Amino acid sequence: MHSTITTRDNQQFMEDVPLATIARDFGSPCYAYSKDAISENFLNYQRALDSQDHLICYSVKSNSNIAVLQTLAKLGAGFDIVSAGELERVLLAGGDPAKVVYSGVAKSAVEMRRALQVGIHCFNVESESELALLNRTAAEVNRVAPVSLRVNPDVDAKTHPYISTGLKENKFGIDINKAFDVYQRAAQMENISIVGVDCHIGSQLTDIRPFIDAMNHLLVLVDQLAESGIRLQHIDIGGGLGVCYQDEVVPSVDSYMAALLPLLKDRTETLVMEPGRSITANAGVLLMQVQVIKSNGEKNFAIVDAAMNDMLRPALYNAWMHIHPVESKANRTEKNYDVVGPICETGDFLAKDRLLAIAEGDYLYLLSAGAYGFTMSSNYNSRPRVAEVMVDGEQLHLIRTRETFEDLVRGEQLMAEQ
Ligand code: LLP
């Protein structure tokens, strides 16, 4: 995994900028991303897929800042989207609509219309009702919708239950055993053009086996379809490759592809992938400042200015992420801390039981925060969403300004006096 943070003279750097400088210049809390790390993580996929017809559709939900999308669009990335909002972001960032795959459990007719209008690569359809709606909507706007069915291959991704999606018990996709029949019906629909098959079995996978099992299941279906006269142009294996948050041993993109690509040898279908986390997670950190240190006798708390509204993963999944001071300072004693936010919720923590040598006023950074960090942030407790900064060598770009009170109440209205 690309190492985003380096140490020089007791200071932590992202590319050529000290993290302390970012926190001081842009305020705390704030997200910082390394342009180089994002690019390298994407290029890793591109290089590993060199010998294979492919389309890498970066999963926008993991980090949808338009400067991140712009960086990837410039490298030729396609995009995996789940809403009309994400589609507009891709267009704004200069992404090519012809390289967009549209996932999502239930798209609305309005969303479908916009995607048809701009000409996306394909809709990953998750149910027969959605297929029927897409057929009707495409007819209304005089288009033919390119479709891939998202099938559920009933594979256990062996990841956190909240982010495991490929089992029968999950709400995602069409049961693979029913997919053949749904394809036959889709083939009869006038405004549907079948282009592929898709699956996404879960996120933060640390084992390649489930991907291989899923691909094998897909290939059986692809061959059955071919025999019935339905030839697919692409196979989309989804995203889901994990990253190292703590000490997980995660397969590299190269080893994943070394296991996957032989299955596609002598086949004509293009391989589509939808990686999110493996491109952005380890390219970003969340910077924060220690506000208060307090102890209740048994426990030490470092109360920071970031909170669960800024980074929800620890609260939602009990996720473990590294946290460190941005500078090692003298006169600090190491103690065991829970690093918590100021929100009135017991679940408002970022890290528990960590040995840290810190004092009030120190800046800390939470690692692996580039994916599902800002995109899952909210205004809970009327906290403005934080700034985002892109680091490029020695340069800093403010890619999202911190929200103001005006932003918080935008669109709200007092009622007329009765
Ligand atoms: N494609 C589809 C259809 C997806 O649902 C997802 C993620 C991806 C691609 C990208 O997966 P990735 O490569 O990033 O694993 N909030 C959770 C993760 C939720 C993932 C949802 N789907 C977290 O913070 O761990």
Q: Name which residue sits closest to atom 24 of ligand 1, judged by CA.
A: 372
Report the domain count for the chain: 2
User: Structure pTM?
Assistant: 0.97
Residues 25 and 396: their CA atoms lie apart, in Å, by 10
Nearest atom in ligand 1 to the alpha carbon of residue 278 is 13
CB 107 within 8 A of CB 78: no
- Mutate which of 62, 198, 378 for ligand 1? The one with the most ligand atoms within 8 Å of its CB, which is 62
> Are residues 179 and 323 located together in one domain of the fold?
no
122 is catalytic: no
Give me the pLDDT at residue 165, please. Answer: 66
C-alpha–C-alpha distance, residues 260 and 272, integer Å: 12
Query: By 3-state DSSP, what share of the chain in percent is helix, strand and coil, each rounded to 5?
Result: 35, 25, 40
Tell me, in angstroms, the distance from the centre of ligand 1 to residue 376's CA: 12
Q: How many Cβ atoms sit within 10 Å of the Cβ of residue 220?
A: 12
Pocket mutation for ligand 1, best pick of 41, 277, 318 (most atoms within 8 Å of C-beta): 277
* pLDDT score recorded for residue 60: 98
Residue that is last in its domain, among 244, 279, 314: 279
Tell me how far apart the alpha carbons of residues 365 and 32 are, in angstroms, rounded to a whole number: 10
Question: Position 227: which residue type?
Answer: E
Taking CA atoms only, the protein residue closest to ligand 1 atom 16 is 372
Distance CA(339)–CA(174), nearest Å, equals 42
| pLDDT tens-digit map of 251-260 | 999 999 999 9
Listed residues 224, 254, 279: the one ending a domain: 279
Copy the structure tokens of residue 158: 């062996």
Q: Is 415 inside a domain boundary?
A: no
The closest-lying atom of ligand 1 relative to the alpha carbon of residue 203 is 15
- The residue segments making up the domain with residue 345 are 5-33+281-409
Closest to 366 in 3D by CA, of 41, 31, 6, 22? 31
CA distance 288 to 301: 15
Ligand 1 nearest atom to the CA of residue 275, by list position: 13
Q: Do 25 and 72 fall within a single domain?
A: no
Per-residue pLDDT tens digits for 88-110: 999 999 999 999 999 998 999 99
CA distances from 307 to 299, 348, 353, 354, 379 (A): 19, 6, 17, 17, 11
Tokens of 124: 């990953």
209 and 307 together in one domain = no
Question: H or E segment at 399?
Answer: strand 395-400
- What is the residue type of 64? S
* Cα 23 to ligand 1 centroid, rounded to whole Å: 29
Same domain, 26 and 87: no
> Is the domain of 197 the same as that of 248?
yes
Instruction: Name all residues whose Cβ lies below 6 A of ligand 1.
Output: 59, 62, 80, 103, 163, 200, 203-204, 238-241, 274-278, 313, 317, 372
Q: Ligand 1 centre and the CA of 203: distance in Å?
A: 5
| Residue 100 lies inside a defined structural domain of this protein | yes
Task: Give 395 Cα–ligand 1 centroid separation in angstroms.
Answer: 30
- Taking CA atoms only, the protein residue closest to ligand 1 atom 8 is 239
Q: What Rg do the C-alpha atoms of the chain give, in angstroms?
A: 23
Kindly state whether residues 25 and 48 are assigned to the same domain.
no
End-to-end alpha carbon distance in the chain:
61
Return the pLDDT at 169: 65
Q: What is the DSSP string of 273-309?
A: E---HHHHGGGEEEEEEEEEEEE-SS-EEEEES--TT
Which residue among 150, 274, 367 is best mutated to probe the pocket of ligand 1, counting the most ligand atoms within 8 A of its Cβ? 274
Buried b (16+ CB within 10 A) or exposed e, 299-319: ebebbbbbbbbbbbbbbeeeb
Write down the pLDDT at residue 158: 73
pLDDT for res 3: 66
Clarify whether residues 22 and 115 are in a common domain. no
Q: How far is the CA of 228 from the centre of ligand 1 (A)?
A: 33
**Residue-level pLDDT at 193:** 98
Residue 384 and residue 369: Cα distance in Å, rounded? 18
Residue 363: inside a domain: yes
The b/e string for 184-193 (b: 16+ C-beta within 10 A; e otherwise) is eebeebebbb
151: β partners? 174
Residue 256 falls inside a structural domain: yes
Out of 250, 279, 308, pick the residue that ends a domain: 279
Whether 99 and 220 share a structural domain: yes
Looking at the structure, tell me whether residues 217 and 307 fall in a common domain: no
Count of residues in the chain: 418
- CA 371 to CA 354: how far, in whole Å? 22
H/E stretch holding 22: helix 19-26
Whether 201 and 289 map to the same domain: the answer is: no
Structure confidence at residue 297 (pLDDT): 86
Is residue 134 assigned to a domain? yes
How far, in Å, is the centroid of ligand 1 from the Cα of 59?
Answer: 7
- Catalytic hit among 57, 122, 199, 344: 344
Take atom 23 of ligand 1 and give the residue whose Cα is closest: 372
Q: Whose CA is nearest to atom 6 of ligand 1?
A: 239
Predicted confidence pLDDT, tens digits, the chain (418 residues)? 446 899 999 999 999 999 999 999 999 999 999 999 999 999 999 999 999 999 999 999 999 999 999 999 999 999 999 999 999 999 999 999 999 999 998 999 999 999 999 999 999 999 999 999 999 999 999 999 999 999 999 887 777 666 666 666 667 899 999 999 999 999 999 999 999 999 999 999 999 999 999 999 999 999 999 999 999 999 999 999 999 999 999 999 999 999 999 999 999 999 999 999 999 999 999 999 999 999 988 899 999 999 999 999 999 999 999 999 999 998 999 999 999 999 999 999 999 999 999 999 999 999 999 999 999 999 999 999 999 999 999 999 999 999 999 999 999 999 998 7
What sections of 141-208 are H helices per DSSP? Answer: 176-187
d(CA 102, ligand 1 centre) in Å: 14
> To 10 degrees, what angle do helices 176-187 and 128-140 make?
20
Tell which atom from ligand 1 comes closest to the C-alpha of 160: 25
- 417 within a domain of the structure (yes/no): no
CATH of the domain at 73: 3.20.20.10
Residue 200 belongs to a domain: yes
Does residue 178 sit within a domain? yes
Q: How many helices (H) and strands (E) does the chain have?
A: 12, 21
Q: What is the CATH number of the domain that holds 398?
A: 2.40.37.10
Measuring from atom 9 of ligand 1, which residue has the nearest CA?
Answer: 239
207 with 270, same domain: the answer is yes
C-alpha 185 to ligand 1 mean position (Å): 29
- Which residue CA neighbors atom 22 of ligand 1 most closely? 203
212 in the same domain as 104 = yes
